[in-house]
Structures are given as structure tokens and as C-alpha cells.
Amino acid sequence: MQLKDRNLVYGLLWTTGVLIYDTDMQHGDGRVYWPFHPVLLDSLAAPFVFSEFYRLFKELEKAGHDDAKIAKLLVSPTKVATYQYLWSSIPYLKEKDIRTKLLPRHKKVYLIKKFATLLDFMRHSEPFCENFRNLAWSKNTVAALRKETFLPKKGNEEFFKLLSEIEMHLMFYSELLNYYFLDLSRFYHGPYFSNKSQFFTKEFLSLREKERYGFLKDFPFDHFQEIGVYPKDIKIEIFFMGHTHISKPFPEAIKKVNLRLDGKIIKEVGELEKILKGVKENYSKLAELIRQNERDQDFLLRNGIDALFYHMKPLYETLGEDWRRVLLKAHSYAEENRRKVKIPPPWGDWDVYKATRSLFKQKWRVINEEPIGEKEIGFLKKTEKLAKEIAEKEPSPHISYSLVKALRK
């Protein structure tokens, strides 16, 4: 493995470990996830998801698609980051035959390098959001924003109030569609700085999921894009898997907005009221369906598996394939093997450093089918030492802050 590839893979395994621990802590040390612990779904789906990613990437490469073209199909680096959760769940699947058959070592090694290089490309050399920004747009794209028309909040307070309500419902809606994989749909990126202001973009992707739920054909839009303008003194931080922190609530901090729904600029209150009504109606329908099936674990598992494959849909379509091609096999396998999954215990008194080391070693063994070596041990020691030094100099309420910052180049 070349030095750059190795460093990217190390960083990817480290960062996913940090964020898994952080996310568990946000969910009662892994006790209060909805609708079930992620390991249940992830371990059952991972062999099928990763096997298909491998096949799709290879087929796309044969068809002449380089990383730039594949990145354009995937759109969101946050989505790519979200799929990395699955690596850590594979060991909890007691049934090893399916892993050996679908995911031999060469496929896993190829995939972890491919994901790492895609993130490096899509985030403009900050693959792990190590500077606490998600740089999905190039400098030229950001510069072009100066030519766009932005609606000021002053004098348009009702519009911004409605917009905030729509965002809230999109968050809930995306969670119903994707569970804890919220960021398969949600795509926040920036901040991007320009003169005296900063831009921060909120997008929600693939919302009109009519192939999963027929009634969602009437969802008001498929793609939500809000480009917000904020004062430079507002601190916005974004982490590897999309979690965002801001020094002042977004509705208070935002000064101007450019709102596009499926590419159409929206700036009238009346139009936004109709859109909000449609969002609420579709959200209510989906919420009721989930409520009716909340005790049906097979239904909930199928729904989660479908979400993971649905967001790979552009890769399938580019090859002229149906994104549902392996769903029946994946559903059947999940139903037959869900009782074989061993849910890990809470972290208890483990701190973030111990948990991150453990997850790094676990993922390395899963992918490479061998324990870590001297180079990996060296990386862990060096990065942990630096993280602790940063934590001492720059105390932060965010568990992952110093450990992610330690990856800065």
C-alpha cells in the first residue's frame, strides 16, 4: 500500500472509530437507538452492501468512470462517510460463511482504499473534516455564489419561519426513511468564506422515494437546497458524518438565503406555505406506516436494508441496473439470521481513546484479516499523543474534537 493510501486508510479507520463512540454516547452509551441498535441492521446488511459497492465500482471503472465521475454520481461525501459505519458491525455477525463468500479480503482492501480516496477527492483534501468543515464545493463554485440572488431575513421573517419549520420536518422525515443513517439524505456542507460573510449549505437528497413507498410520489420535491449567508463571527463546525455545531442557533444566525427545490428558486411565502403543507402530509403518512409496524422487526429490518441500497441508486442506474437487484437475498438473509447477531455491550468506563484504539484494531482485522502491525501501532500512538496534547490546550465539549483535529496535515 502506498504511503498516501495508507495514511488515508489509517485516517478513515481512526475517524470512524471516534465518531462511532461519539454517536453511541449521544444515544445513552448505545442503549437508546431507534428502532434498534445499529449493529443489528449493519451486520446483516454490510456483506451485501459492500459486495455490491465493489461490483458497481469495478463495473463503472470498466466503463471509463474515474473517481471524479463516480463522485459526481454519489453527490454527497457525507453519504460516503455514513456507509463507513458498517465496517465495525461485521464482527458481530456470528455466521461467517456469508462474509467469506461475499467479502473476501481483496474486495475489502480495495473498498477501504476506494472510499478513502473518494472522500479525499470529494472534500478537497480534507477527507475527515479535520478542519471542521465539509468542503464539498470547489473555490470556483463558491466564488460563483456572489452572482446569486439571496433573500434577506429582514422584512421576510415569515418566509424564514416557514423555512425553519420545513427543515425540522425534513429531519424527522429523513430519520423515518433512514433511521440513524440520517445523513444518507441530509447533506450539510461548508462553511465557505467570502468577504465579510460565510456560506453554509443545507441539502436533503432523494426525498421522493416512491419506489420504496408508493404514496411518496406526491412528496413536494426530491432535492432541497438552502444556501445560507451567516456573519463571519458565527462559528460553524461540521464533523465527518455530518454532525454540525453552531455558536448560535441557525434560525437566529442566518441573514440571507437562496432556496432551491429541485433547482427552482423559491422566494414567496404563499408558495412556501403550500410546500410545507405537502411535506407535513407526506411525513404524517410515513410516520403512521412506521407506527403501525413498529413491533414488526422484519419490516423494520427490510426498511433499513432498503435505505442502504436506495442511496446507491445512481450507481445502478448508470449501469442500466435496478437498485433492488439483491434486496430479496438481503431481506431473506436478515430474516433468517437476525437472532444470530450479538449486540455489543455499552462502553461503560471506556474513554474515547481506548474505544477508538479498539475499533481501529477491529476494523483493520476485519478488512485485512490479520492483526495490526508496527506501522499501525505507530500511527495509533502518534495520533493519540497529539490528540491528548490538543485536548489539553484546547478544551472542547465535543468528545471527538481533539481526536479529529489530530489528523490535520
Are residues 306 and 394 part of one domain?
A: yes
**Cα separations in angstroms, 228 against 42, 59, 78, 253, 374:** 34, 38, 19, 10, 46
Are residues 302 and 278 part of one domain?
A: no
CB atoms within 10 A of CB 18: 29
Q: Show the cell assigned to 21.
A: 463512540
The mean per-residue pLDDT over the stretch 354-383 comes to 95
Q: Which pLDDT value is given to residue 397?
A: 82
CA angle, 202 then 79 then 171, to 5°: 45
Query: What one-letter code names the amino acid at 270?
Result: G
Final residue of a structural domain among 290, 309, 336? 290
Q: Which of 127-136, 279-288, 337-346 has the lowest mean pLDDT?
A: 337-346
Are residues 385 and 369 part of one domain?
A: yes
Sort residue 200 into left (φ over 0), alpha (ψ -120 to 50) or beta. Answer: beta
Q: Which pLDDT value is given to residue 99?
A: 65
297-355 pLDDT, tens digit per residue, is 999 999 999 999 999 999 999 999 999 999 999 999 999 989 989 899 999 999 999 99
Are residues 302 and 236 part of one domain?
A: no
Sort residue 230 into left (φ over 0), alpha (ψ -120 to 50) or beta. Answer: beta
Domain region containing 344: 3-132+296-405
pLDDT above 90: percentage of residues in the chain:
88
Are residues 223 and 271 part of one domain?
A: yes
Confidence band of 362 (pLDDT split at 50, 70, 90): very high
The mean per-residue pLDDT over the stretch 137-158 comes to 94
194-238 pLDDT, tens digit per residue, is 877 899 999 999 999 999 999 999 999 999 999 999 999 999 999
The overall pTM is greater than 0.85: yes
Of 60, 118, 107, 42, the closest CA to residue 308 belongs to 42
Of 398, 370, 380, 367, the closest CA to residue 105 belongs to 367
Is residue 14 classed exposed, middle or buried when 0-12, 13-18 and 19+ CB atoms within 10 A define those classes? buried
Residues 12 and 84: beta-carbon distance below 8 Å: yes
Q: Which pLDDT value is given to residue 90?
A: 80
Are residues 318 and 281 part of one domain?
A: no
What is the total count of domains within the chain? 2
Are residues 301 and 272 part of one domain?
A: no
13-70 pLDDT, tens digit per residue, is 999 999 999 999 999 999 999 899 999 999 999 999 999 999 999 999 999 999 999 9
64-114 pLDDT, tens digit per residue, is 999 999 999 999 999 999 999 999 888 776 656 666 788 899 999 999 999
Query: What one-letter code names the amino acid at 133?
Result: R
Residue 409 has pLDDT above 80, yes or no: no
Confidence band of 1 (pLDDT split at 50, 70, 90): low
Q: Which pLDDT value is given to residue 94?
A: 62
Are residues 183 and 258 part of one domain?
A: yes
Final residue of a structural domain among 290, 325, 351? 290
Q: Which pLDDT value is given to residue 268?
A: 96
Are residues 192 and 170 part of one domain?
A: yes
Q: Which of 85-99, 247-261, 284-298 has the lowest mean pLDDT?
A: 85-99
Q: Which pLDDT value is given to residue 151?
A: 97
Are residues 268 and 216 part of one domain?
A: yes
Are residues 301 and 255 part of one domain?
A: no
Q: Which pLDDT value is given to residue 195?
A: 78
- CA gap 285, 215 in Å, rounded: 8
Are residues 230 and 258 part of one domain?
A: yes
- CA gap 37, 31 in Å, rounded: 8
> Which tops the pLDDT comparison, 395 or 74?
74
Q: Which pLDDT value is given to residue 76?
A: 98
- Name the 3-class secondary structure at 198: strand
- Name the 3-class secondary structure at 191: strand
Of 268, 267, 263, 258, the closest CA to residue 145 belongs to 258
Confidence band of 396 (pLDDT split at 50, 70, 90): confident
Final residue of a structural domain among 258, 275, 290? 290
- Name the 3-class secondary structure at 200: strand
Q: Which pLDDT value is given to residue 194?
A: 84
